[in-house]
Amino acid sequence: MSHLLTFALGLLLGAVAFTIVGALTAILVLTERKVGARIQGRVGPMHTGPQGSLQTIADMVKLVMKEDVRPARADAVAFGLGPLLVAVPAILSLAVIPFGGPLIMRDLNVGVLYFLAVPGVTVVGLLLAGWASYDNYSFLGGLRSSAQFISYEIPRGLAVVTVVMLAGSLSTVDLLEAQSRVPYIVLLPLSFLIYAITSLAEVNRIPFDIPEAESELVAGYHTEYSGFRWALFFLAEYAGLFAASAFGALLFLGGGNGPLLPAVVWLILKTSALMFVGIWIRFTLPRFRADQLMRLAWKFFLPLSLANLVLAALVMKAVA
């Protein structure tokens, strides 16, 4: 009986996490539209609520109530599974982020590796979604995005390895403790740059949003999706941005460490700063071409991150 209760509690926690991520997405989308409008000299959404602040809530209600259209020749199982496999790992990866004190779902002793591994499952979802839609644009978008994801996963992982080497632990809580005096961005600036840029590619943000480039692929892998399933893709993108930023803050900016304010506030402040940079970049840089994207990953970031790793190891050896 007691573990039925545990399972029920787990389900409840999952529902809470989903709701929090939904609310987070609403806030992020509104911020993004407002900031974007500011950068482009517009005013952004203004009509729903004071200063348009309820616009995304209205959009979400509309999305949930929309008809769920499925192409006649689509593979039913894969079409339904695609968005789920994209959204669930993005939310799951939040489980190892320490928001300070007891506010962590689980302190795995392989937390950092978990954060690198679990979002990798989204590739399966993207491929399934693109394939099941029975549509050339979706298919090309799915293939492109998985190729991109796999390519940028490697330099990103190698950048994180330097942090792990320095901290001597894969646990996220230990990372926090290791940075109590000096945040790692001071010691590993190059790793931070590699991590930040490749993370943008991992979460499919401009300038790396080739898979859904509307000028060539309509909307990539989610061309055929509408209603709630489309909302799941949307949710996954913003959950991914949040997770990547929170981990950036944790790995390089010292996470919840900081004077006066509690750890949660510090972590959220640092995460918000990183997310703001992401939004800023979106409205500043043009999109890459598909071949440029691949060349950048394999001929620039991979050698750079390897050199960075070797350099970090040598310096650590020399200092120790």
Partner 1 sequence: MSLQDSLFAGFGLIAVVGALYAVITRSLLRAIVALGAFLTAVAGEFYLLSADFVAVVQIFVYVGGILVLMLFALMLSASGVRHPLAAIDRPGLGAVLAYAIGGGLVWASWTAGTFVPAELPEDAVGALGRALLGTQLGPFELIGVILLASVIAALSIARREQP
Q: Does 181 bind partner 1 (CB under 8 A)?
A: no
For residues 60 and 243, which CB has a smaller minimum distance to partner 1 in the complex?
Answer: 243
**Size of interface with partner 1, in residues (CB under 8 A):** 28
For residues 118 and 206, which CB has a smaller minimum distance to partner 1 in the complex?
Answer: 118
> Which of 116, 159, 163, 197 touches partner 1 (CB under 8 A)?
116
> Which of 27, 35, 81, 173 touches partner 1 (CB under 8 A)?
81
Q: Does 3 bind partner 1 (CB under 8 A)?
A: yes
Amino acid found at 300: F
Radius of gyration of the chain (CA): 20
> Which of 27, 63, 117, 218 touches partner 1 (CB under 8 A)?
117
Least distance to partner 1, CB of residue 155, Å: 15
Query: From CA 90, how far away is CA 235, in angstroms rounded?
Result: 9
Q: Does 113 bind partner 1 (CB under 8 A)?
A: yes
CB 201 within 8 A of CB 51: no
> Which of 17, 24, 110, 281 touches partner 1 (CB under 8 A)?
110
> Which of 20, 39, 77, 311 touches partner 1 (CB under 8 A)?
77
Q: Does 175 bind partner 1 (CB under 8 A)?
A: no
Q: Does 146 bind partner 1 (CB under 8 A)?
A: yes
For residues 109 and 180, which CB has a smaller minimum distance to partner 1 in the complex?
Answer: 109
Q: Per-residue x/- mask for partner 1, residues 202 to 241, rule CB under 8 A? A: ----------------------------------------
> Which of 58, 143, 290, 294 touches partner 1 (CB under 8 A)?
143
Give the DSSP per-residue string, the chain: -HHHHHHHHHHHHHHHHHHHHHHHHHHHHHHHHHHHHHHTT-----SSSGGGTTHHHHHHHHHHHS-----TTS-HHHHHHHHHHHHHHHHHGGGG---STT--S---TTHHHHHHHGGGGHHHHHHHHHHHTT-HHHHHHHHHHHHHHHHHHHHHHHHHHHHHHHHT---HHHHHHHTSSS-HHHH-HHHHHHHHHHHHHHTT-TTS-GGG-HHHHTTGGGTT--HHHHHHHHHHHHHHHHHHHHHHHHHHS-TT--SSS-HHHHHHHHHHHHHHHHHHHHTTSPPPPHHHHHHIIIIIIHHHHHHHHHHHHHHHHHH-
Amino acid found at 164: V
Least distance to partner 1, CB of residue 96, Å: 11
Q: Per-residue x/- mask for partner 1, residues 122 to 141, rule CB under 8 A? A: -xx--xx--x-------x--
> Which of 16, 103, 150, 186 touches partner 1 (CB under 8 A)?
150
CB 79 within 8 A of CB 132: yes
For residues 77 and 316, which CB has a smaller minimum distance to partner 1 in the complex?
Answer: 77
The contact set with partner 1 (CB under 8 A) reads 2-3, 6, 75, 77-78, 81, 108-110, 113-114, 116-118, 120-121, 123-124, 127-128, 131, 139, 143, 146, 150, 153, 170
